[in-house]
Amino acid sequence: MAASRGHGGQGLRKAARRDLLRRAGALAAAAVFAPRLAAAQTFNATTISQAAQEARRDAGRLALRADNLLRLTVADGPERGASAVRRFRIEQASLARDLAAIFNSRVSEDDWLLVVPTRELNLALTMQPLVIRLAPTSGEVEAAIRQPLPQIEPLAGDTAEDVLLTIVLGALGLPRHVALFEQLRNDRDLAAATEGAAGALKSERYGLAAFELERLMRVMVLPSTVAAIAGDLGKNAVRTLYKSLAVRFVPFVGWTLFDTWLLATIYYNRDTTAPVLR
């Protein structure tokens, strides 16, 4: 019995020694790789240019201004005056010019992707192979500022969803081609988004309408929707679509400024669209 206990004690001591060695080895490996991991996670002026850092900061500040413009435009929804539309025209000009100054004079085009927020990175990467500038030139910005808001005349039999889809196509520089329009109307995701936006506008829930309009625009740039547009209107129409997003800086400030343009256009056309949007 005594011999048996001694044998067992030696086995336990050997097992404990092996466990200790394993732990020591793991700690040594961690000490070796820790500096490499820390270096890989460092993100400073050596990994992103100073100009790009400043552009990210300033574009972020302008994006907050765009958020505030959308908030004010939503708040003015129940009013029937023209103050919201006038404010939008003034503020969008200021915002667009300030954004254009960042991307056309202060940061290299090679660094533009570093300024794109992660939410819009997929959009920016989709645009790149088409050789479309993610930011517009100053001339393109001025042309967009001078362009008046479109006047919408609903066709006989148009629903609220049809009117919204017409406004969206116009915002993207695309015509209301009959075959394409029917195809888009019958798209399940697009129909759900237009119904949501139309319902919010009819009930005067303009905050919800802003969210639904963003949902609608995100469906409009899905691969299936873009393919439908290319199939009906041609590849140049796809370039027109993406350039319409770039001129409102969607890749850099998200959909806020674009959606405010949509709301301002809806307010501007209240008299002609009242029969279907009320």
8 with 65, same domain: the answer is no
Quote the number of domains for the chain. 2
* Residue 135 CA to its chain's centroid (Å): 14
Can you give the residue range of the structural domain that contains 17?
Answer: 1-42
Predicted confidence at residue 278, as pLDDT, reads 80
Asked whether residue 98 falls in the same domain as residue 3, the answer is no
Residues 70 and 37 grouped into a single domain? no
31 and 153 in a single domain? The answer is no
Same domain flag for 114 and 213: yes
- The average confidence (pLDDT) of the chain is 87
Do both 35 and 117 map to the same domain?
no
Residues 91 and 10 in one domain: no
Give exposure, 140-164, as e/b (b: 16+ Cβ within 10 Å). bbeebeeeebeebebeeebebbbbb
Same domain, 114 and 8: no
- Helices and strands of the chain, counted as H and E runs: 14, 0
Same-domain status, 80 and 204: yes
What is the pLDDT averaged over residues 41-46? 46
Helix 160-171 and helix 188-202: axis angle, to 10°?
A: 110
Q: 265 or 40, which is more confident?
A: 265
pLDDT, tens digit (0-9, with 9 covering 90-100), for 11-41 = 555 555 555 445 545 444 444 444 443 343 3
Query: What is the pTM for the complete model shown?
Result: 0.81
Q: Are residues 63 and 36 in the same domain?
A: no
Q: Which of 29-33, 204-208, 234-238 is least confident?
A: 29-33
Q: What is the predicted pLDDT for the residue at 235?
A: 94
Please give the C-alpha separations between residue 97 and each of 89, 109, 132, 211, in angstroms, as whole numbers: 12, 17, 19, 26
Query: 98-155: per-residue pLDDT in tens?
Result: 999 999 999 999 999 999 999 999 999 999 999 999 999 999 999 999 999 999 999 9
Say if residue 73 is exposed, middle or buried (CB neighbours under 10 Å; 0-12, 13-18, 19+): buried
Candidates 139, 117, 132, 151; CA nearest to 226 is 132
* Residue 11 and residue 113 in one domain: no
128 and 5 within one domain:
no
More confident residue, 20 or 78: 78
